[in-house]
Structure 1
Amino acid sequence: MAVLTRVATALAACFSLSGAAFAEPLGLPPVPIPSDNPQSAEKIALGNRLFHDLRFSSDGTVACATCHADEKAFTDGPLRTSEGIGKKTGTRNAPTVINSAYFTSFFWDGRSASLEDQSQHPFLNPVEMGLPTHEPILNIVRSDDFYVDLFKRAFGKTGDAITMDEVKKAIASYERTIVSGDSPFDRWRFGKEENAISAEAKRGFDVFVGQGRCVSCHVIEETQALFTDNRFHNIGVGINRAQFDVPRLAAEFLTAKAKGADVDKTVLSDPKTSELGRFAVTDQFDVIGAFKTPTLRNVAVTPPYMHDGSLKTLKDVVKHYNNGGRSDGDPAQVNDYLSGGIRPLSLTEQQMDDLVAFMGTLTTPAYFGAKTK
């Protein structure tokens, strides 16, 4: 906790009381800040504390940082899918919080539109933090002396005036400081340091933007690179094995949803329903099995991969795409809902290795206390 406190202090020092932000790292645009939640040093320090508090789970064992651990690049690798209270296992791999400030939707299926909204859901999910309501959180922050002081400093509120609105704004403010650029790739591409990456990685970059067509979804622009298009695609993971059940699964899900079923709880508790992807949010059949494009920044240190954690290595991921949306050893045929851009790539073994080497250059050596693994 001492390390986290130092990190929070350093983060807070990057902001003025008016919310003026630090200069963004090389390769990233300015962090977008919502007008109704301007940054402040006090809010960031409070959000850091809330993010790491185990008491906000029903058995006192799970915090936001449990599945998004600083020292694991804000993921919970090597777990395939996240573990919540009582070691309950969900259906999805924990995505990194790093650079989530730039995302336009949250969760793998995009069911939240803001960091503020996203932060509220895990508290109540029975396979995550397992609280019956948000009331236990409010009881703590309204009575704990440390929180009383922090909320007063950050929002000018005490006692019953503190609500979940302040809690979510503080957590989101902290998460918007977890940004990662200035990688070897950035120094090579945007800083013009020719020797920042290896010859193998440079060849991999050519594959990434050329024959591999990775850049179609993992976007690189002229002066910045988020490595995501913030859109949803069916790339043949998971849904390949469930596709013959899709009509039944979709019908049952829509019926349950019409009766008030909680989407959060449903997709994290039932593996097959989880594979419906974006459909669970939009009810549109053209996005069955589609999941959000994740950023590739720090991807080399955040295995396993894909929404279900089913691919262990980056080489496995590259092979999946090279096979046109089918993983090695997967007997299932490519699903009927596969996104149009997914087709065999005909990459050689050397090209695949070069591509993996390139993705290794996207790791930022140090970012706000997190360590590569």
Structure 2
Amino acid sequence: MALEKQRKFVRTLIAGGAAALLIHVGTVAAQAEDFVIEVPAGLPPVPFPADNPPTPEKIALGKQLYFDKRLSRDNTISCASCHDPGKGYSNADQFATGFKGQKGGRNSPTVINAAYNNFHFWDGRAGSLEEQALGPIANPIEMNLTLPEAVERINKIPGYKSQFQKIFGSDATEENIAKAIASYERTILCGDAPYDRFKAGDKKALSPEAQRGMELFFGRAACSSCHSGPNFTDNAFHNIGVGMDADKPDEGRKTISNLGGDTGSFKTPTLRDIAKSGPYMHDGSMKTLKEVVEHYNKGGVPNEFLDEEIFKLNLTPQEVDDLVTFMKEGLTSSNYPEHKMPELPK
């Protein structure tokens, strides 16, 4: 590249996927800030750690790792097994099935727009996508492969070994495996929904029912008190009265913060493409969005830690339906990332 050519735009497809990345190369030095992941309408720029800037090669490597079942002890489970592109980057079951058929006690959260999350996992125990990426690999009821074993296994695969050397200048390590997977996950973006087009001035983008639901969402139903901002989440934790009538309720965020007030609180999920990622809630207890709205309409399950934002809404059946229509119609993207499994290294 000639030095006088200050800018060059290169489009590259994620191997096997439908979503394109726009990589802006500013100078021949290609500094971190020169790489920008193209985002759909309605979303802000994708943030990333200073020590893990995105590149097409790193993203492609991360995608291979995301779909590779060799990162599980018995070679049967990948990240995509529980966060399936065809199932809203969740898995369509109440609980995911892990190593030897084991099941956890929480629903698989979607990876959609996880790039914008301040915390990861329902209880927020990971503060970055890099940290999150390694958790399921080592978890004994998920992929059940110790991280040293994972590193050793990846480095025995020549195709991976050469990629890590090219991208990171070293063999695979726990740190750069996490960086690669996180870089790929930051490209799983959903936006450019009818809601975004309506807000941009296209008043025909939403049906009358969806417009009524939107008015309720941002008004009397108070959904936006927690599902706020471009990603429809406040990135905070709330007790909304789910599962609090169980014999031993899941303590949620309290297990991480050790604060009594966090008992039964869980991270607010994004509502982008929410129609694709059911069942819903941290325990996967609600199969439909109508069940979700009806839960809020009744004011949740009363308990001493219930958030003040949760109260009886007294919505009519038509208003419940309108809210559901807004979420299904208004927040379903036109550019859903139907990523396919890439060819894996040998």
TM-score (norm 2): 0.89
| Alignment partner, residue 292 of structure 2 | 317
* 8 Å Cα contact 2:253-2:266 kept in structure 1: yes
Q: Does 1:30 align with 2:45?
A: yes
Instruction: Identify if the C-alpha distance between structure 1 residues 15 and 46 changes in structure 2 by more than 3 Å, giving closer, same or farther.
Output: farther
* 8 Å Cα contact 2:278-2:287 kept in structure 1: yes
| Alignment partner, residue 265 of structure 1 | none
The CA distance in 2 between the partners of 1:322 and 1:368, in whole Å, is 32
2:64 to 45, 49, 56: 49
Instruction: Identify if the C-alpha distance between structure 1 residues 38 and 32 changes in structure 2 by more than 3 Å, giving closer, same or farther.
Output: same
| Alignment partner, residue 80 of structure 1 | 94
The CA distance in 2 between the partners of 1:121 and 1:193, in whole Å, is 43
The CA distance in 2 between the partners of 1:139 and 1:15, in whole Å, is 34
| Alignment partner, residue 61 of structure 1 | 76
Secondary structure of the corresponding residue to residue 334 of structure 2: coil
| Alignment partner, residue 320 of structure 2 | 352
| Alignment partner, residue 8 of structure 2 | none
2:142 to 115, 122, 128: 128
The CA distance in 1 between the partners of 2:24 and 2:164, in whole Å, is 17
The CA distance in 2 between the partners of 1:69 and 1:18, in whole Å, is 33
| Alignment partner, residue 233 of structure 2 | 228
| Alignment partner, residue 213 of structure 1 | 222
Residue 18 of structure 1 deviates from its aligned partner by 4.4
- Kindly provide the amino acid, as one letter, of the partner of residue 241 in structure 1: A
- Kindly provide the amino acid, as one letter, of the partner of residue 159 in structure 2: F
Identical positions, percent: 45
Residue 173 of structure 1 deviates from its aligned partner by 0.5
The CA distance in 1 between the partners of 2:211 and 2:196, in whole Å, is 12
The CA distance in 1 between the partners of 2:189 and 2:162, in whole Å, is 27
- Kindly provide the amino acid, as one letter, of the partner of residue 149 in structure 1: S
Q: Per-residue displacement from partner, 1:114-153 (whole Å, max 9, x unpaired)?
A: 100011111111211112x212211222121110121122
Residue 167 of structure 1 deviates from its aligned partner by 0.4
* 8 Å Cα contact 2:40-2:335 kept in structure 1: no
Residue 47 of structure 1 deviates from its aligned partner by 0.4
**Which sections of structure 1, spanning at least 5 residues, go unmatched?**
246-271, 327-333
The CA distance in 1 between the partners of 2:306 and 2:336, in whole Å, is 36
RMSD: 1.8
Secondary structure of the corresponding residue to residue 57 of structure 2: helix
* 8 Å Cα contact 1:18-1:40 kept in structure 2: no
Which of the pair is proportionally richer in helix? Answer: 1
Q: Per-residue displacement from partner, 1:169-207 (whole Å, max 9, x unpaired)?
A: 001111111111101111111x21111110000000011
Secondary structure of the corresponding residue to residue 159 of structure 2: helix
Mapping of residues 246-325 of structure 1, within 5 Å: 272=249, 275-325=250-300
The CA distance in 2 between the partners of 1:137 and 1:325, in whole Å, is 42
TM-score (norm 1): 0.82
| Alignment partner, residue 191 of structure 2 | 181
2:170 to 130, 139, 157: 157
The CA distance in 2 between the partners of 1:193 and 1:276, in whole Å, is 44
* 8 Å Cα contact 1:12-1:42 kept in structure 2: no
* 8 Å Cα contact 1:67-1:94 kept in structure 2: yes
| Alignment partner, residue 343 of structure 2 | none
**Which sections of structure 2, spanning at least 5 residues, go unmatched?**
1-12, 341-346
Secondary structure of the corresponding residue to residue 215 of structure 1: helix
